[in-house]
Amino acid sequence: MGMDSGHPARGWFTAETAAQKARLAEDAWKMLIHLPIIILTFLHPTPIADTAPRFDIARECQSEGGSKEEQKRCADEETQARDTLQTEWIQFAANAKRQCYEETNIDGTPSYVEFLTCLEMERDVRNPPK
């Protein structure tokens, strides 16, 4: 009896299904070929910002307490550390920036002086001064 088994539409339907399956497989292949690119795009690690973070200097110095003179000295030191961070930012490793940022923010009052000190220590451990 063969393929159509006496049923006229059966052989035609099977051929159409095979063609549809082939087209679906081809379409799926075309979509899947781009999948690694899509996955790599989403898995790309988030880069650390290109600039130093912004901390509230006044809040940090007020949390330290002390006289107005001590708070002004604190603000001056924080401002100087912030300026140094901005000029030297690119020389620090991304993982050191991330680690030091987390450590500096533990108590909720981040300090530029603490952040810079941490980054400099991390840098010096990796590349000891000669």
- The conformation of residue 4, written as its DSSP 8-state character, comes to S
* Rounded Cα distance, 89 and 116, in Å: 9
- Phi/psi of residue 29, each to 5°? -60, -45
* Rounded Cα distance, 82 and 115, in Å: 9
* Long-range contacts of the stretch 9-16 (C-beta < 8 A, 24+): none
pLDDT in 10s for each residue of the chain, 130 residues: 445 455 555 545 555 687 787 787 787 777 667 656 655 555 544 444 578 899 999 999 998 888 999 999 999 999 999 999 999 999 999 999 999 999 999 988 899 999 999 999 999 888 876 7
Retrieve residue 49's tokens: 């910002």
Q: Is the pTM of this model over 0.85?
A: no
pLDDT at 71: 93
